[in-house]
Structure 1
Amino acid sequence: MPARLFSDLKRIVPLTTLLLLLAVLMATPSQAAELYVGAATTDITPKLPVSLTGQMRTRIAKTVESPVTATALVLESREGDKSLEHAVFVSCDLVCIRGGIHEAVRDKLKGKVPGLDLKKVIMNATHTHTAPTMIEGRYTLPETGVTKPAEFVEFASQIIADAIIEAWNNRQPGRVGWGLGHAVVAQNRRALYEGGWAKMYGSTSVKDFRGIEGYEDHGVEVLFFWNNEDKLIATAVNVACPAQAVEGRSAVNADYWHPVRETLKKKYGDQLCVLGWAGAGGDQVPRPMYRKSAEARMMKLRELTLLEEISRRIVNAWEEAYAGAQQEKHADPILKHEVRTIELPRQIVTDEDYARVKKEVVAYANAPSKVWIKNWKQRVLDRYDAQHAGTEKPYEMELHTLRLGDVALATNDFELFTDFGTQMKSRSPALQTFVIQLCGPGSYVPSERAVRGGSYSAIIESNNVGPQGGQVLTEETLKSINGQFKKSTSD
């Protein structure tokens, strides 16, 4: 401002008013960042018959009890016409994100979505055990007459890529809200016995039963997205429990997420896209570990199936969260998205592990029906050899962390035991922290106490990454979240 003009202004306006005027005149014109949202849902149910995954035995599905779907959510922060940040989430009714399906989706998007950073496409699985197999050789399958794993990956990856493009193209100005409800969905599935040993799904009615091993997280973390007409267009529901209510069936089934989606769409409109996010729940199950007869009686009296009962609880919790979130809708939340590859130490295969597993691999060598178990155990022997050859590398994981207004989101590849998720949520600076597991090929990451107890999910066959690696994952996740919530002049 010229000195003479400043002198003239001082004579005719008070100093405080002058300072405010100067601030306005000298400020750089800017526009608050605006949230854009797009969503789409697609059916990824393949041609039948199809091999199902998630059990140690071969299952061929000839019927569909409920379709398996993929739901895409695009979030973008804009300042005027300038895109500042974005993220793409895809929730899939799959057991894990494996078999190269994530890479195939990104490959099919290349050159088709201007402005999309393919590294910012996140896929997660709900962990239904009644979804198609994605890895060739996982089970002994007929040569013909079934959809093969590679065929399913090719089919599903194209449909998912198309859904992402649809969601990207229909993004529009929107608002977001967040809320918390509570539902008893998860029960810790590891029973403890006299002497300190544990067993997944162990009997709780025997004389030496002493308790349940770990914590259960009954919080239901929810995100809600509205368009500018105040229409609810998408929601993401974070439940710290895998979708394993009907895991042993031989029919395609999306498990409890299907009735959750159908109930919410019936109440809030067919346009509503529902993303199921499995929270840290590697030691959890949506079935009772005790009071089983009483639970069964109550469902019978209310004329509900187990899937309907779980859905009822989640929807009630969702509506608790919705009642609060509706009062605070944010059109311009801070959106930050960090993607980086972290290295996690592998769980060490001991000499004792090697000797035991080697005997078991030999025993399964001539049993075609046990090919899953044999291959599962053979991988332990291969790891042992790599350890001793000095060729074993740390586990590399693509870590996504996001800040969306007051909340944080963090991903991991695993069936992560709840203790680690509890750490992340408790130590995070965010108002709410969403932990989204199974964004990769899976494998359990157990707590130290679980390893002491042993049994499936906490033995070397189950663990590429052990408690030490789980703690490294926790610290790296919190380091990234803390950086996103660190105060800056732009916040």
Structure 2
Amino acid sequence: MNFSTLNHPLISVLLCCLFSSFFISESTAGQIWIGAANVNITPDQPVAISGQFATRVATEVEAPVTATALALETRNADQVEDQALIISCDLVGISAGVQDQLRSRLKSQLPDLDINKLFLNATHTHTAPVTTDGVYAIPAEGVMQPKEYVEFLLTRLAEAATTAWINREEGGVSWGMGHAVIAYNRRTLYEDGNSRMYGPTNSSNFRGIEGYEDHGIEVLFFWDKQNKLIATAVNVACPAQEVESGRAVNADFWHEVRLQLRNQYGDQLQLSGWIGAAGDQSPHLRFRKAAEDRMREGRKLTRMQEIARRITLAVNEAHAVAKNDIHKDVVFKHTVQTINLPARRVTKAEYLESKAVVADLGKQEQAGQDTMRKRKWYEGVIERYETQKPDQTYPIELHAIRLGDIAICNNPFELFTMYGIQMKARSKALQTFVIQLACKTGGYVPTRRAAEGGGYSAIVQSNLVGPEGGQTLVEETVKAINRLWDEPTP
């Protein structure tokens, strides 16, 4: 083509369309505004702690549980492009209704926030207060009741959200990743085809570890106007349950991670802990334990400090690259939708088995044993069978966020890692952050292989949604993410 060809009317029209499309795409980029705040959500009185079948009342605090709010907004001149307010909580999960109650409280306090762009997530520590009434046999006197704790929690979460939102300022964002062995697949596979969570690996019928592990550490860095690091979000595919059977309030390994990162980057650093798809993962060692302990003891570290050391090294790896690639103007899009997943159906055999178990647990309870939590677990199966309908679905709130080259998505489950791997592999984003246990708590979602192997986490008592729903979640999440990368066609 020579220069005179550009004067052709058709070529001129095509060039106008091309440049119009370019500017439409670029107009979605805006200056990022950032706010972050952390609050203590540890009560000052004895409290029942969640995460095990037996009732545990904590009378001491080993490491405070906290909540960190991260407020994000992009603006083009005075025009708001999009928003997000994500609050990470050191809790076992987000109980039904807590997020809705928080949104109701904040709606009038933060009128310039699209309240639907707020969501909560939990780090899944098993040593944080109970937030649901009627699940555990909690003493009526001398112990903070779940209803009281939720009221205390909401007040603190509203404080964090308001502080982060009101104090947001112009800044920058960057992203990176490192690697750290934090999570181990906790499902043991045996010769007969059955699987068992935390099953022994030194028995003669041991044949392997059931599923995949994800050792990538996805990291977001947030900077102020002077390019000083003010906040970070760290995505680890591992629940915070190293001290899950303890009897004191404890934020688990995230407390040590905060201490180590603040020691390195300053006390101003706010850390959001985001747990990735990790329903079949935990930080517990599965084999080579003596060798691992020898190395850790040689470093003079506790197990929690060792986990934090590995995460900190991964964050440092990411920081070394990300600090040289700070973005002040970014494409920021945040979509929210409700999707309906196929519910796992309860069979008649499962129903009858649950009735028999409930009857037996009732007798044990009358004899003074603490079986309330387990009885409720089986009673849930009975209720589901008696009320289930054909084509029953389980609705969830799905958030999909594009922030520059990265994507953030959520789900309410303890989602088996392979589903998260599918999302990351099929996403158009450079990096994809998967946040589980968000908005509410929806139980485990196992793979088909796990459901066939059985065992805790892959049986009907553990699953409101089964493998079919897990795959539907992948498809809908990938679609929601990839739509954010679809550009106008010239």
Structure 2 length normalisation: TM-score? Answer: 0.93
| 1:38-437 → structure 2 map (5 Å cutoff) | 38-366=35-363, 367=365, 369-387=370-388, 390=389, 393-437=392-436
Once the two structures are superposed, residues 328-351 of structure 1 have per-residue CA deviations (whole angstroms, 9 ceiling, x without a partner) of 111111000000111011101112
Aligned to 2:464: 464
| In 1, Cα distance between equivalents of 2:85 and 2:453 | 39
| In 2, Cα distance between equivalents of 1:470 and 1:308 | 34
Alpha carbons 1:104, 1:154 under 8 Å: kept: no
Q: CA deviation at 1:392?
A: 8.2
Alignment coverage as a number of residue pairs: 468
1:484 aligns with 2:484: yes
Question: What percentage of residue pairs aligned between the two structures are identical?
Answer: 52
Alpha carbons 1:38, 1:168 under 8 Å: kept: yes
| In 2, Cα distance between equivalents of 1:144 and 1:110 | 35
Evaluate the alpha carbon distance shift between residue 396 and residue 152 of structure 1 in structure 2; reply closer, same or farther with a 3 A threshold: same
Runs of 4+ aligned residues of structure 1 deviating over 4 Å after TM superposition are: none
Alpha carbons 2:442, 2:464 under 8 Å: kept: no
Once the two structures are superposed, residues 132-169 of structure 1 have per-residue CA deviations (whole angstroms, 9 ceiling, x without a partner) of 00010111111111111011111011111111111111
| In 2, Cα distance between equivalents of 1:112 and 1:383 | 39
> In structure 2, what residue type is equivalent to 1:147?
M
| In 2, Cα distance between equivalents of 1:293 and 1:469 | 39
Alpha carbons 2:29, 2:332 under 8 Å: kept: no
Unaligned runs of 5+ in 2: 1-6
Q: CA deviation at 1:488?
A: 2.5
| 1:23-42 → structure 2 map (5 Å cutoff) | 33-42=30-39
| In 1, Cα distance between equivalents of 2:97 and 2:208 | 40
Unaligned runs of 5+ in 1: 1-9, 11-15
Alpha carbons 1:182, 1:219 under 8 Å: kept: yes
Aligned to 1:4: none
> In structure 2, what residue type is equivalent to 1:246?
V
The two structures, once aligned, show a CA RMSD in angstroms of 2.0
Alpha carbons 1:241, 1:285 under 8 Å: kept: yes
Once the two structures are superposed, residues 109-142 of structure 1 have per-residue CA deviations (whole angstroms, 9 ceiling, x without a partner) of 1211121111111100000000000010111111
> In structure 1, what residue type is equivalent to 2:455?
S
Query: What secondary structure does 1:271 align onto?
Result: coil
> In structure 1, what residue type is equivalent to 2:42?
T
Alpha carbons 2:420, 2:434 under 8 Å: kept: yes
Aligned to 2:3: none
Q: CA deviation at 1:99?
A: 4.5
Q: CA deviation at 1:300?
A: 1.7
> In structure 2, what residue type is equivalent to 1:475?
E
> In structure 2, what residue type is equivalent to 1:374?
R
| In 1, Cα distance between equivalents of 2:201 and 2:126 | 24
Once the two structures are superposed, residues 254-294 of structure 1 have per-residue CA deviations (whole angstroms, 9 ceiling, x without a partner) of 00000001111111111110000000000001011111111
Evaluate the alpha carbon distance shift between residue 205 and residue 110 of structure 1 in structure 2; reply closer, same or farther with a 3 A threshold: same
Query: What secondary structure does 1:211 align onto?
Result: strand
> In structure 1, what residue type is equivalent to 2:470?
G
| In 2, Cα distance between equivalents of 1:304 and 1:460 | 39
| In 1, Cα distance between equivalents of 2:145 and 2:29 | 50
Alpha carbons 2:51, 2:127 under 8 Å: kept: yes
| In 1, Cα distance between equivalents of 2:240 and 2:418 | 19
| In 2, Cα distance between equivalents of 1:352 and 1:314 | 45
| In 2, Cα distance between equivalents of 1:337 and 1:106 | 17
Query: What secondary structure does 1:365 align onto?
Result: helix
Alpha carbons 2:343, 2:465 under 8 Å: kept: yes
Alpha carbons 2:91, 2:124 under 8 Å: kept: yes
Q: CA deviation at 1:47?
A: 2.3
Query: What secondary structure does 2:111 align onto?
Result: coil
> In structure 2, what residue type is equivalent to 1:145?
G
| In 1, Cα distance between equivalents of 2:288 and 2:275 | 25
Alpha carbons 1:282, 1:415 under 8 Å: kept: yes
| In 2, Cα distance between equivalents of 1:392 and 1:374 | 27
Query: What secondary structure does 1:122 align onto?
Result: strand
Query: What secondary structure does 1:385 align onto?
Result: helix
Evaluate the alpha carbon distance shift between residue 476 and residue 335 of structure 1 in structure 2; reply closer, same or farther with a 3 A threshold: same
Alpha carbons 1:41, 1:72 under 8 Å: kept: yes
| In 2, Cα distance between equivalents of 1:130 and 1:103 | 24
| In 2, Cα distance between equivalents of 1:275 and 1:459 | 32
| In 2, Cα distance between equivalents of 1:104 and 1:61 | 26
